[in-house]
Structure 1
């Protein structure tokens, strides 16, 4: 450890420098030259007669205070010899850093900020605060973050002035922007109107990211509940598309399994009497077309080739009739539910051995998943949702590469609070989104994880994190963070020393998360003065620890807001009070003072107050 002596005049050693030394574990002795003339002579001898304070002596090497060479020359009218001492040292902080290579700042987590994990904040929703985009951004600009993610509520939300102001702020403040896309855009919907709106939004957001030079645009991977739950909303008079944006019939006719499923489900609406009536009606019309204007029952029965009590053959014949009529182009019944559209796509994926199916559902067939456990249905829905996402993005992959646009998919919330804790939505689990991204296989499509969103759907974030795939961190670019993530989505400020939150981030770090953004999403109806707390400081501390690969069980005191000076103070307080528990229980006299201090107390009792004030200095 270096030996540091500091000669000061009129308290010329700033609090900033003192704190810097203490935080880095540097022990130093401070001498006030106004009080001790001998120290002034010693300092003047070190500086060759130049009266410039503070004077810092590090292992016998003299360093001047925080004035530039030109300022010192003007003040003391010294030429030549001053440059010998101060030409390489302009600020005391930098001087101490460069002069003491062995001090504890060499610890892996030390330094002002992490280089690989940047801290971000959200701007807030303009409509919620009745503010413009720039007003929202400006209100959060001075929080000390590295990145601000702007909540854009529609692709046409930004005015030309907004864009100009954001560009100016970026250049003037060095701020990096990211974008959160419209939370109503759903790339997993089969409904034609919603599919087309999502496609248009995607195209416009790509332009916006390029124009603002944003780091990424973040979309919720899905918005609506699972279609078997949600089908009552969009049932009739809707048109449904396949993942490629063409009518669902185009997907249906490519898959034998989809055709069979569709016919079977359609036939569920008919009982045996309805089937017989349909078959006999069809036979009667065919006889009439052949010239038999009034066919008899015997002729109709002969035409059908079945007896009325032959139940299995009637069902078989009826299915053959449906297959011939319903699946012909122009006769396909589009009055179906989105759940039926999802089932058609599921069979199409299964029949072709699509990796979007096999990575999420394995070798299970759609009928087994449909009739299986709720978790099985979730797998099927998420595989099909992934196919719809892929269908949207396939035609834009080259553009993402050429424009340098990054797309992030975030695990969604329970929109509007509907079904919280009931696992009712699509792509709720980051692992399934990871599989979708991996199958798409483009480096500019990555994952964003929101821990509170996991909790909102009834999953435990810590259990989920422990079950993540071993390489999921390589696909994560951002994680939204709050202390105490729970089902109510309170957006709690991040607290210093939140080990539980750090454990979540550590699970990602172990799985390849080496670089990215830690974004604080504020909100929850809190007053402005309650939104932040120590969030930015806490996150920057976590970022440094992640960068240094420090596991939760080895976190240093600095993580909890305790620097070397605070730790030393705590030790002194504990040492002073270590015998308090047994005070008054001993038979022999308890000596609070030695002989000299005891005599001084008798003569001047008020000295105790002075000592108490100075004890921990």
Structure 2
């Protein structure tokens, strides 16, 4: 396949461009006028798939233009695949299932999603910890945490310390089990009294000879002591002191079985205990062999990356009702393999103050998720601009990456390499520094195995922002990328790039012809005011026009 050059459509919600009103227009309007055969359609909402006659209109445009199309999935918290919150997990899972279904039906090449939408949990402790018991959380596969605790002793040991007793104690499931336990304790009361009397009196010599009245008082005192102890034990049960009762009630509760005391933080801890106890490669490769509670404080980025990777893997592998409704019961990886659809994962953009603090962003971490899944239809998307937005030194990242890292990449998002939160998307200038830097980075990935894939310019609003013409938005970005691809295919080292790469060589006939016309037309400009013979400015054919006062008209139309 080598490298295929393309563009992205952009989002209507950002550009407010009428060319972006609906998926068919996104696929065709810009793609038809920029000279490319590939267009990434940027999806804003799953409701775009209910546009009337979508499938027929979309395929008609794509087939008539002879272009290929990829899909950029939704962005935002509602599709945060790394989230442990139940409401978000279920929404994100179903929305991705719907997107995968339509990407296959519309015969798209890939669907690209962001690895993360949220900052690390340590940055949100003030919000999560105090109110964690008020919302529901789930495991990476969308289950209540008792399901994971039943499979992992390490998880059970942790969750029994984090059960939400402040909400659970008032629930029917707990009250019923506590009463059953109290009845069981009370049922054995007389035996406990008899056993305690026997125990205490066995040390008294000739106890049978003690006067009956004294024996009655003594035994009554023992019975009262036992009754107080039983009452205290029952009180402890109703106060949540019996962890067995509390745990069983938690499992049976319709609400609290989805709750842990510190909410999403406890969810991440529980998953970490499960992963570390199993030596999950996502944990050992990203975090190492560190205890979860130590890693939470000493390796916060790695801690979040490993757990986020587990949640993404859970979404990709699980088969629940959403998979049944939209993917014919297949999991996401199976669906992509069946329909020859590539699932790409990209580092997210950032906001000021959040650079490098997203839960899952670094390619050297996400590579382990791709490796563990082990499917040829799950790959990485590298966005250099968004990499810088996450405080990543791209040169250093490529240098540290393993020798086969490039083989894990399917898609590149390009724009001028500027570190402004990954959202600038400024056009690439032929002969500019950005073109040279981007080539160096891609060449570095090529040496690590990236020998083929899709290379697209991800559009923004142009240098001035807002709406603009096609040229304002793209300028010479497509030509600049074509130059990169040309010399990548020739395996030209960055230091050996010829002048033609920068648009100034004889081997670029179109560029050179334009430059030659410009040079000839303006060659005598420095001498304009010292000419003695007017024809040297207006040429001999223009003398008559000058004499008749039509010099400006001649200047405008002399080459037509």
TM-score strictly above 0.5: yes
8 Å CA contact 1:245–1:391 kept in 2: the answer is no
Q: Which residue of 2 aligns with 1:57?
A: none
Q: Which residue of 2 aligns with 1:253?
A: 150
Q: Which residue of 2 aligns with 1:500?
A: 437
SS at match of 1:196: helix
Q: Which residue of 2 aligns with 1:322?
A: 243
Residues 199 and 383 of structure 1: CA distance in aligned 2, closer, same or farther (over 3 Å):
closer
Determine whether 1:151 maps to 2:42.
yes
Residues 542 and 263 of structure 1: CA distance in aligned 2, closer, same or farther (over 3 Å):
same
8 Å CA contact 2:347–2:363 kept in 1: the answer is yes
Q: Which residue of 2 aligns with 1:335?
A: 259
Deviates more, 1:522-531 or 1:345-354: 522-531
Q: CA deviation at 1:544?
A: 1.0
Q: State which of 304, 322, 334 in structure 2 corresponds to 1:398.
A: 334
Determine whether 1:487 maps to 2:420.
yes
Give deviations 1:13-39, integer Å, cap 9, x for gaps: xxxxxxxxxxxxxxxxxxxxxxxxxxx
More relative contact order, 1 or 2 (CA 8 Å, 6+ apart): 2
8 Å CA contact 2:120–2:300 kept in 1: the answer is no
8 Å CA contact 2:301–2:357 kept in 1: the answer is no
Residues 439 and 135 of structure 1: CA distance in aligned 2, closer, same or farther (over 3 Å):
same
Q: CA deviation at 1:295?
A: 9.7
SS at match of 1:564: coil
Alpha-carbon distance in 2 for matches of 1:295, 1:358: 58
Q: Which residue of 2 aligns with 1:464?
A: 397
Residues 225 and 565 of structure 1: CA distance in aligned 2, closer, same or farther (over 3 Å):
closer
Q: Return 5+ residue gaps in structure 1 as ranges.
A: 1-114, 270-281, 307-313, 573-603, 613-617
Determine whether 1:220 maps to 2:162.
no
Note the 1:566-605 alignment, pairs <5 A: none
SS at match of 2:74: coil
Residues 320 and 170 of structure 1: CA distance in aligned 2, closer, same or farther (over 3 Å):
same
Deviates more, 1:157-166 or 1:540-549: 157-166
8 Å CA contact 2:144–2:257 kept in 1: the answer is no
The number of equivalent residue pairs is: 440
Q: Which residue of 2 aligns with 1:597?
A: none
Residues 469 and 546 of structure 1: CA distance in aligned 2, closer, same or farther (over 3 Å):
same
Alpha-carbon distance in 1 for matches of 2:7, 2:86: 35
Q: State which of 534, 557, 571 in structure 1 corresponds to 2:476.
A: 534
Note the 1:165-314 alignment, pairs <5 A: 165-184=57-76, 185-230=79-124, 232=127, 235-265=132-162, 290-291=188-189, 299=226
Give deviations 1:414-443, integer Å, cap 9, x for gaps: 2xx36432x221211122222101101111
SS at match of 2:424: coil
Q: CA deviation at 1:505?
A: 1.1
Residues 304 and 475 of structure 1: CA distance in aligned 2, closer, same or farther (over 3 Å):
farther
Alpha-carbon distance in 2 for matches of 1:301, 1:510: 77
Alpha-carbon distance in 1 for matches of 2:143, 2:396: 40
Q: Which residue of 2 aligns with 1:558?
A: 500
8 Å CA contact 1:408–1:445 kept in 2: the answer is yes
Alpha-carbon distance in 1 for matches of 2:115, 2:158: 28
Q: Which residue of 1 aligns with 2:449?
A: 512
Determine whether 1:365 maps to 2:291.
yes
SS at match of 2:252: coil
Alpha-carbon distance in 1 for matches of 2:11, 2:512: 45
SS at match of 2:53: helix
Alpha-carbon distance in 2 for matches of 1:125, 1:250: 40
The normalised TM-score by structure 2 is: 0.69
Q: CA deviation at 1:411?
A: 1.3
Q: CA deviation at 1:126?
A: 2.3
8 Å CA contact 2:313–2:373 kept in 1: the answer is no
Q: State which of 409, 431, 446 in structure 2 corresponds to 1:476.
A: 409
Alpha-carbon distance in 2 for matches of 1:364, 1:287: 43
Q: Which residue of 1 aligns with 2:5?
A: 119
Residues 142 and 383 of structure 1: CA distance in aligned 2, closer, same or farther (over 3 Å):
closer
Residues 399 and 527 of structure 1: CA distance in aligned 2, closer, same or farther (over 3 Å):
closer
Q: State which of 323, 346, 357 in structure 1 corresponds to 2:272.
A: 346
Q: Which residue of 2 aligns with 1:452?
A: 385
Q: CA deviation at 1:360?
A: 2.1
Q: Return 5+ residue gaps in structure 2 as ranges.
A: 167-179, 194-220, 320-329, 517-530, 540-560
SS at match of 1:531: helix
Alpha-carbon distance in 1 for matches of 2:394, 2:2: 24
